Structure 1
Amino acid sequence: MKHFTAVTDVPDLTTSTPPDLTDWQLLSERGGVRCESARWAGRPVFAKTLVFDRPDSRARFEHEGRVAASVRHRLVVSPLRCFHDTLIYPFVPGVTLRERLDTGALGADEATEVAGGVLAAVAALHACGVTHQDLKPENVILAGGDATFAAVRVIDFGMSHSARLPLDIHQGTRMGTPHFMAPEQFLGVRGDPRSDLYSVGVLLFDCLAGAPPFEDAFGWLSGLNECRAPLPGPAELHDVLTRCLTRDRAQRPASAPALYADVSAAREAMGLEALPDLTAWAGECR
């Protein structure tokens, strides 16, 4: 696994010039951040604007922008521009994976393609020293609504950790979504890539079953409840799911590329086409 030391020369992409947004439409407002669809520089965009300029809110907002801007990858939605109070992202027409799953579980072919796309994005993030820390169906967009590898877009770096930034504002906190959070995250551990692999395993489980594996998420995370739903999907995927969902990080796959290879091998064992060559889906660290 590649290791990074904290540095202070990560480019600061912020500028005090306000963005010229037109045709904006409010989508949501929470946590002091307003989300809108709009047009900027002649193209449709998704804009996140800081509404309450308190020190803690600004720290989280700028942290998200810097982490998201530090990686470029075809399956990762990074900002086009970071302004002082607004992050401008490309608008991705489609649905979230959660919206897709609300219509029913996916078959093994689509589920493993989506998991493969998420893992390709995660491998690029990890190579740049970034752990996402909140991988879940709500943070995966399916471009065009297609449950395919190339349609995957990983979004939302508000809870992420970057080994290349000098300060992690979330250090020691229980950041994440309980049903998709690794047990060590619940204890405050951040920056371990294996936590993301746990979340990908839960995501794959959810795709196949239509629900995550632990109904009592807090009971599982705290060690009070070991009750897990039966493993879904074909038997060829059960070993992958079991190793991802283990409480012991050392027993999980060693890396995103290793898990990607396991999912691809399981697809071939099921008579499906292997996932694309991961080396053709490399990203760029900024």
Structure 2
Amino acid sequence: MQEFQTTQPLSNRAPLAEQPGVYSESAEWCGQPVFVKTLAADDPDSLARFQHEGRVAASLRHPLIVSPLAITPTQLIFPFVEGGTLRERLERGPLDEQQATEVASGVLCAVTYLHAQGVTHHDLKPENVMLLGGQPRWNNVRLIDFGMSHSRALPLDIHSGTRMGTPHFMAPEQFLGVRGDPRSDLYSVGVLLFDCLAGHPPYEDALGWLAGIRDRRAELPGPEPLHPLMRSALSRDRAQRPLSAAEMQHHLTSARLELNLPPLPLPTPDAAAAPATDTPA
């Protein structure tokens, strides 16, 4: 990763999205296709949030996480992942249990690494999971967007006490302002697995569920061996969720075996920190 104090020149620019204070585009930088976030606002709070995302993302090295190639005071330049998001794939229909558990395994592999680095993502959802080549396989998962993340390595959590997150995917305690609990990410992975199998998240009235005034959940989708894991991960009580991403991965692996699905050659925790060998185009 390179750090520059001046704005980097881009070519073949094409706008992709615009959020308050930040716009995103595809482009070419140093002869390779890239995805670029550019800070458009000039207020101190927007700058602090933008630089927070850059610092967290730049600290990560994992083959299933998209880390920046370069950062400047107003740019985050990432390798471009060709294939689209998991949400775009789900818009064509739910995944079967083989595909859904592969995607969830890939996400958990990345999350296990994140938590070992002291980082809680806090916005795990299909929109923030890229699929290399558009194929729902564990090794095609690419986790993106650390704008809402919490890192124990940073002296200040700029989102402290906020309710930032996506209602359908955020854990109840996150809605109450609790930050930095890895079990909040495990809740989100449970929702993501549910969404992959059902084509929609579990709670129609997500805000009512988060506020504790609604408990009605859609019927658990997919085959029965996956239900205990989803039921545990979706618990309002954090103590009822898996203790860690690694334990959740173990339960998912056991469920796959019960479904006669082949074991996945997931990287070991020590090997997982190696940078990706592919160059998304």
**TM-score when normalising by structure 2:** 0.95
- 1:196 corresponds to 2:188: no
Instruction: Give the aligned residue type for 1:191.
Output: G
| 8 Å contact kept, 2:202–2:218 | yes
- 1:212 corresponds to 2:189: no
1:154 counterpart residue number: 143
Measured in 2, the distance between the counterparts of 1:254 and 1:29 equals 37
Measured in 1, the distance between the counterparts of 2:205 and 2:232 equals 20
1:282 counterpart residue number: 272
Tell me which of 160, 170, 176 is aligned to 2:159. 170
Tell me which of 63, 81, 97 is aligned to 2:70. 81
What are the superposed Cα offsets for residues 219-269 of structure 1, whole Å, 9 maximum, x if unpaired?
110110110000100000000000000000011000011101110110001
Number of equivalenced pairs: 274
Measured in 1, the distance between the counterparts of 2:223 and 2:95 equals 12
Per the alignment, in what secondary structure is the counterpart of residue 113 of structure 1?
helix
| 8 Å contact kept, 1:257–1:278 | no
Instruction: Give the aligned residue type for 2:110.
Output: A
Q: Shift in Å at residue 89 of structure 1?
A: 0.3
Instruction: Give the aligned residue type for 1:162.
Output: S
1:8 counterpart residue number: none
RMSD: 1.4
| 8 Å contact kept, 2:63–2:274 | no
What are the superposed Cα offsets for residues 30-79 of structure 1, whole Å, 9 maximum, x if unpaired?
21111110000110000111111210010000000001111110000010
1:129 counterpart residue number: 118
1:7 counterpart residue number: none
Measured in 2, the distance between the counterparts of 1:276 and 1:253 equals 22
Measured in 2, the distance between the counterparts of 1:61 and 1:277 equals 32
Gaps of 5+ in 2: 276-281
Per the alignment, in what secondary structure is the counterpart of residue 224 of structure 1?
coil
Q: Shift in Å at residue 284 of structure 1?
A: 6.1
Tell me which of 50, 55, 58 is aligned to 2:39. 50
The percentage of counterpart residues that share the same residue type is 62
What are the superposed Cα offsets for residues 140-171 of structure 1, whole Å, 9 maximum, x if unpaired?
01110000001100000000000000000000
List, as ranges, runs of 4+ consecutive aligned residues in structure 1 with deviation greater than 6 Å.
none
